[in-house]
Amino acid sequence: MSKLSSKEILFRSVKQIITDARSQVYRSTNTVLLQMYWNIGKLIVEDEQAGEVRAEYGKAVLKNLSAQLTIEFGKGFEESNLRNIRQFYIAFPIRDALRHELSWTHYRILSRIENQKFRENYLLHAIEENWNTRTLQRNIESQYLGRVLEIKSTSKIPTEAKHVIKDPYIFEFLGMTPDSSHTENKIETAIISHLQIFLMELGKGFAFVARQ
């Protein structure tokens, strides 16, 4: 194996510095954004609860607040987003418990999960398995945790088979209908063609070694 030239070494070193710096900027920006949305959500909920007629009061407040904030700050404070911010605070009422590895989009998706246990476990899986927002949304829609044989506590990373094996597995990304039976050869051929997505469906702890 040929040695790297001094130019290549310099390039890689500078590239790493830039990559690390950008990562730090993203984490810092994301942390500030989450804290800002959480604080806004807290104020909205507290103000809403102080209204005499909560339902109608809440609708009027969000509409008026959205109009004022949009004039002052521009995009990003539409009424729909204020509702997302409000729901974010309700779903995650403890600010110090927020995990800043996840983006606002992650939290917006997680906030829609009504079951608190499922919401916390999806959050843990998203962090430990580095799910992007698309993967998180897909796993929620396919009831990823509902198909795990036993839901693992959020205090530890899943280590036992019953915490990662699902029943049934859903292979809709292979182009196969879930209500039909398929031969092993047909499934294998489809799996090889969709290997990356297949490993995502199996979950953490699985790796492709050979065709069989």
Mean pLDDT of 134-144: 90
pLDDT digits (tens, 9 = 90+) for 67-115: 999 999 988 899 999 999 999 999 999 999 999 899 999 999 999 999 9
pLDDT tens by residue, 155-189: 454 555 444 445 555 555 556 555 555 566 666 66
What is the pTM for the complete model shown? 0.65
CB-based contacts of 210: which residues, under 8 Å, 6+ apart? none
Q: Is 171 helix (H, G, I), strand (E, B) or coil?
A: coil
Phi-psi group of 76: left, alpha or beta (phi > 0 → left; psi -120 to 50 → alpha; rest → beta)? left
Confidence of residue 18 (pLDDT cuts 50, 70, 90): confident
Q: Which long-range contacts (CB under 8 A, 24 or more apart) does 57-66 make?
A: 62/86
187 to 164, 175, 191, 201: CA distances (angstroms): 21, 10, 6, 14
Q: What single string gives the DSSP state of each residue in 62-98?
A: HHHHHHHHHHHH-TT--HHHHHHHHHHHHH---GGG-
Q: Which of 159, 155, 131, 157 is nearest to 144 (CA)?
A: 131
Cα–Cα distance for residue pair 39/61, rounded to 1 Å: 16
- Measured CA to CA, the distance from residue 91 to residue 38 in angstroms comes to 10
Half-sphere exposure of 97 (CA within 13 A, CB side): 12
For residues 140-145, average pLDDT: 86
Torsion of Cα atoms, 80 then 89 then 120 then 123, to 10°: 60
Name the residue type at position 53. Answer: V
Residue that the structure tokens 């990304």 belong to:
173
pLDDT at 136: 95
Of residues 131 and 151, more confidently modeled: 131
Considering all CA atoms of the chain, what is the largest pairwise distance in Å, rounded to the nearest integer? 76
